[in-house]
A and B are shown apart, each in its own frame.
Chain A
Amino acid sequence: MTHGPDPGPPHRVVVVGHGMAGARLVEELLGRGGHASGRPLHLSVVGTEPYGGYNRVLLSEVVAGRADVAGLAMSDPAGLAAGGVDVRLGTSALAVDRAARVVRLDDGTHVPYDSCVLATGASPIVPPLRGVDPAAPPTGVHTLRDLDDARAIVAAAANTRRAVVLGGGLLGLEAARGLASRGLDVVVLHAAPHVMERQLDAAGGAVLARRLGRLGVRVRTGALTVAATSRAGRLTGLELDDGSVVPADLLVVAIGARPRTGLAERAGLAVGRGVLVDDTLTTSDPDILAIGDCAEHRGECSGLVAPAWEQARVVADRLTGTDPDAAYTGHRPVTRLKAADLDVAALGTALVDPWEAEDAGLEVVQLLDAARGRYVKAVLRDGVVVGAISIGEPRAAAELTLLAERGSPAPRDRAVLLLPGLRAATDVSDAPTLIPDRATVCRCNGVTKGSIVAAWTAGARTVEDVTAATRAATGCGTCRATVDGILCWLTDADPEPAPDGAGIPAPTPAAGTDPAATIPARAAAVIEGAAR
């Protein structure tokens, strides 16, 4: 409780929508202490789904059996309510009455606000298909947008053999891969010339389609689906514009989502594709904000979680007064396919033709390894990665993403961008005669190969002798086999050395050892082998 001067009436915030953006906003607001510029914050949460906020990004993982439904939860409605939040889940907002400054709900109640944040998300797009009544589609037709969709697909997948995924974008391919991993025959029907055409160029699309093929997912591109066939109310297949039919008992429609703007439109707010917001995430009404998939910022409706969470952070900073000047200025989109054995990442300006890049002030490097399904492409401007595609090369995907996010300068040798896992050749040879004398054999005591050779020259013939003379193998002892191997090699090479060990490399003292030149255990094995 605050003592002293009356902090005034609470600032009432209602968050409409309890998906990934809305739930995150609630968490961010509460994490800042529950105050709004000195006034107590009163928070109301409205959500259509009966569940607490959950991780929608992982729904395709649920389809693939790689995510646990119970583990998707990201908010705790009971905990929120216990903490004083007015939680209204399973309830939809019907209208925002801007004059009365209340949100009217479908249960007949209303919630007054000082600030209203729209986080209503997006709805899956279902194309007009002959034979599909959107109000009563045949059994077997699904979208993949919420938890109930994912559960229904998992349940349906248990009793079906052939599935079609309509749409070869990110979500469609994740779903297709997931269904294939459940043992279904899966066909992806995609209207564009190659999959993920918004993120990948033609070569990338081709490599990805081939990888998918090897994983049991057939891709048909340029396929315009016009109708669904069904028997007794159950889906039997999809008909293309060329008249061919692809048999299927399960259809997952994944051709995109449309921002849910109905509430905003009815309230008279400015709406484009999404609810229009400025860099402060404010709509055309200064007391109403919008974040996440329902919002359109600088012409972008990203549909990705990272921008939504960044927007939630900015709104929380502003509403609580933590940072009244916080602003959202856009996000560099990173697309990362979540699917086993595919390893696809795409970001920034990647759809650049290498032969036209120079005119645009860009530089393109790429690696195409069709046989192994690898494709890596980096687009640079002024030595900085501004776009990239990586398929089948996980380290490249990770490093290119980091480089682009930070705007760090790229390696001079651009090949390193494509294969960051390649290690520079070391000067440590596996051949026992070629291990440099300065190489450290016993790290614990800084004993080099040269010192061991010197000890042998001076008469040491057993590991114990060498240990006594050099302290090799007297620390952790893991180099004992290497010491033994060197002794075996020396004995083998010259059983009766002349005094002072003529013909044997001169020893080097422990001083100036080179930690980088430590002999790895596998070299020790080679030494042992060579000695036999």
Chain B
Amino acid sequence: MTALATGTAVATHCPYCALQCATTLTVDETGGGGAPGGAVRVDGRDFPTNRGGLCQKGWTAAAVLRAPDRLTTPLVRGRLLGAGGPAGDELVPVGWDRALDLVAAGIVRARAAGGPDAVAVFGGGGLTNEKAYALGKFARVVLGTAQIDYNGRFCMSSAAAAGIRAFGVDRGLPFPLADVGSADAVLLVGSNIAETMPPALAHLAGPAGRGGLIVIDPRRTATAAFAEDGGGLHLPNVPGTDLALLLGLLHVVVHEGLVDAGYIADRTTGYDAVRRSVAAWWPERVEGVTGVPAGTLRGAARRLAAAAPARGGRGAYLLTGRGAEQHAKGTDTVSACIDLALALGLPGRVGSGYGCLTGQGNGQGGREHGQKADQLPGYRKLDDPAARAHVAAVWGVDPASLPAPGRSAVELLHALGTPGGPTVLLVHGSNVVVSVPRSAAIVDRLRSLELLVVSDVVPSETALLADVVLPVTQWAEEDGTMTTLEGRIVRRREAVRPPPGARSDLAVLAGLADRLGHPGVIGTEPSAVFDELGRASSGGPADYAGVSYARLDAGEELFWPCPEAAHPGTPRMFLDRFGTPDGRARFVAVDHRPVADDLRADAPTYLITGRVLQHYQSGAQTRRVAELVAAVPGPYVEIHPDLAARSDIADGDTVRVTSVRGSLVAPARLTDTVRPDTVFVPFHWAGPGGANEVTNDTLDPISRMPEVKVCAVSVTRVAGATPEVLP
């Protein structure tokens, strides 16, 4: 890597999660780090979200820039170059022109045989706004394919769907994160924020210190322990029962007269149906489903209500995470949480609210700009004629030429290489082999493609299956924007020059567009792409038209919607009206239902999955940072001592966790922080310990989110095996 200027401090943001902690990168040409071209130092930078703090991932992020196996040249299978024999299966280096020519030719061939939908595109929630926008435009205009979706389906799609049906628009947190600190109570549903977004925990210190932090989680996570240490509550429910628990909380609020009747009358619709539906969820019934004692449930409901402004409290926030959302009933679970928030009169009030803790680095922006199957830039709907007309005009195409909504992520991946399914797939910013449930089946689908093209920074598990691998730039090597979990648009800035041979995803798409007869359609200058994105989003729910690099570089704090250059942006949404046609928030009546793959005699234990502090998503980046690998070298199975004793498993034993879909093998870690009916496995690894070999891909009917959070398994000791430490 090459420094832009030695010793220059560049203000940018962490490459990982949606908190997008502000960092300063300082390049030291004179040595350190042992890397050619000098070392990059990462420091925390004072910013409203991270207040100068960084977690271990952030502090060590520069190591990703020095990944020893960094991709620096396009790679192509030998057989595509005419090589025979064993060499035909190997990835061999080629020049960019050769690689792009091959990809373009493959696309042309596939389209000739199977039409535009023979080519599919898969994006990611870690891509910059510019890349996400360009990817959607490339698919719709250059390829003309309906087959585009992205890994945000496995992220917050359930919360997005529920947010839209309640508020008419989805912004993860419709308020700045710092607002949470002043509240008297915060309910976290399925979020282990202390490990997944560590510096954000500082914002919860105030409510936690007042005994107001309530954590719903089957595990006593670091976050749950933090709540209990402050006098708050941990509700350790049975996996897959968040929905019943939330209905029970709402039942208590309704029956103990704790609702904000004035707010319900003035700002909402649909309360009566919800009130009728929660009549069926009295606390003792909820106890039988969730395992949370009725008295504890009542106590939690009263504490939340006491914090609500209508009852004289300083405010309350209800926040959901992946634990609540990654289920086949994830959308309804979030709706139940929003219903509870509405009954307490929280959303659209300063100091209170509902929010989703978005996970991926650009999980918010990534879902707004058109890389989703049913969506156009500005969070517009692809099936809305007005939206099509607006975006087509910006793109200079006929609205009728834009494809219809296509398959969602899991369905798209399972369609690959099947009759009528795509035969070519382009992947940007996603390691689907690790992050998708029932991953063995996904690998089969990827292998059945005519052409798999993966643009990545390092040889991820998915890249290693590709026919063509294109080396692209990463966070500190490029300019762009990211939108944080709060809907705040931040600038990613180039601090070091990318290694020779790596190109931006924008350049990849532009190069392909040129070869496919659409020169100039995809811009390569991030600021210009951003300006175009602003025009395309203008008038849409996520309106970026008034945001520019100039304003961001001048230090303005801008939250969307920001429709004009003179507009100050919108830190707090819904203060006057919600984004629905009548301006009122909508209660949505929902009902609980069991886990899709529920316990039975031969699978008597729940598997739940999640994250550890030291790793990020599929681990493609963090598994290449020595300090993080040293801290958490591989997957493990958390088992309650009692379950372990029954299964004759000792701490450190190798165990096999098996579902109807597949199995994983990893060392046992005995802990009483997990329920005796449940085991926990972090999912950041591929290979024998890959959690997503085992997880369930049953989809939520609304968000198309797979149920990766819970399934039924058996757990057995692997006799005589030595625990493997995976890379």
Q: Which residues of A contact B (CB under 8 A)?
A: 54-55, 57-58, 61, 66-68, 70-76, 79, 306, 334, 336, 338, 343, 394-395, 397-399, 401-402, 405-409, 411-413, 416, 423-424, 443-446, 471, 474-478, 509-513, 515-516, 518, 520-522
A478 touches B293 (CB 8 A): no
B195 touches A443 (CB 8 A): yes
B53 touches A55 (CB 8 A): no
Q: How far is the CA of A424 from the CA of B53 in the complex (A)?
A: 34
Q: Which residue of the partner chain A has the closest CB to B281?
A: A55
Contact of A343 among B44, B59, B293 (CB under 8 A): B293
Q: Which residues of A contact B238 (CB under 8 A)?
A: 402
A477 touches B202 (CB 8 A): yes
Q: Which residues of B contact A512 (CB under 8 A)?
A: 630-631
Q: Which residue of the partner chain B has the closest CB to A20?
A: B280
B288 touches A401 (CB 8 A): yes
User: Which of A70, A416, A444, A477 gathers most chain B CB within 10 Å?
Assistant: A444
A475 touches B642 (CB 8 A): no
Given A66-B256, A70-B275, A474-B53, 8 new contacts (CB under 8 A):
A76-B276, A395-B293, A401-B287, A401-B288, A411-B676, A474-B54, A477-B53, A515-B613
A55 touches B279 (CB 8 A): yes
The answer to whether B92 has its CB under 8 Å from any CB of chain A is: no
Q: Please judge, given known A-B contacts A73-B279, A334-B288, A397-B287, whether A510 and B627 are in contact too, CB under 8 Å.
A: yes
User: Which of B53, B238, B292 gathers most chain A CB within 10 Å?
Assistant: B53
Q: How far is the CA of A61 from the CA of B277 in the complex (A)?
A: 18
Q: Please judge, given known A-B contacts A446-B614, A516-B671, whether A476 and B200 are in contact too, CB under 8 Å.
A: yes
Q: Which residues of A contact B277 (CB under 8 A)?
A: 74
Q: Which residues of A contact B669 (CB under 8 A)?
A: 516
Q: Which residues of B contact A (CB under 8 A)?
A: 44, 51-56, 59, 194-195, 198-202, 205, 222, 225-226, 229-230, 238, 254-257, 272-273, 275-277, 279-280, 282-285, 287-288, 290-296, 599, 601, 604, 612-614, 627, 630-631, 641-642, 645-646, 669, 671-673, 676-677
| Minimum distance in angstroms from A1 CB to a CB of chain B | 23
Q: Please judge, given known A-B contacts A55-B279, A397-B293, whether A476 and B255 are in contact too, CB under 8 Å.
A: no
| Minimum distance in angstroms from A454 CB to a CB of chain B | 16
| Minimum distance in angstroms from A318 CB to a CB of chain B | 20
Q: How far is the CA of A386 from the CA of B391 in the complex (A)?
A: 63
Q: Which residues of B contact A475 (CB under 8 A)?
A: 53-56, 198-199, 201
Q: Which residue of the partner chain B has the closest CB to A413?
A: B642
Judged by DSSP, the binding face of A is: loop
Q: How far is the CA of A306 from the CA of B286 in the complex (A)?
A: 12
Can you identify 17 A-B contacts, CB atoms within 8 angstroms?
A55-B279, A66-B255, A67-B255, A75-B276, A338-B284, A343-B293, A394-B296, A395-B293, A402-B288, A408-B677, A411-B676, A443-B198, A443-B613, A475-B199, A476-B53, A476-B201, A478-B201
| Minimum distance in angstroms from B285 CB to a CB of chain A | 8
| Minimum distance in angstroms from A480 CB to a CB of chain B | 10
Q: How far is the CA of A406 from the CA of B291 in the complex (A)?
A: 12
| Minimum distance in angstroms from B339 CB to a CB of chain A | 14
Q: How far is the CA of A238 from the CA of B255 in the complex (A)?
A: 34
Q: How far is the CA of A394 from the CA of B283 in the complex (A)?
A: 12
Q: Which residues of B contact A334 (CB under 8 A)?
A: 288
| Minimum distance in angstroms from B715 CB to a CB of chain A | 12
Q: Which residues of A contact B284 (CB under 8 A)?
A: 336, 338
Q: Please judge, given known A-B contacts A58-B279, A61-B282, A74-B280, whether A446 and B56 are in contact too, CB under 8 Å.
A: yes
Q: How far is the CA of A76 from the CA of B673 in the complex (A)?
A: 44
| Minimum distance in angstroms from B104 CB to a CB of chain A | 46
Q: How far is the CA of A343 from the CA of B283 in the complex (A)?
A: 12
Q: How far is the CA of A424 from the CA of B225 in the complex (A)?
A: 15
Q: Which residues of A contact B673 (CB under 8 A)?
A: 516
A515 touches B222 (CB 8 A): yes
| Minimum distance in angstroms from B718 CB to a CB of chain A | 21
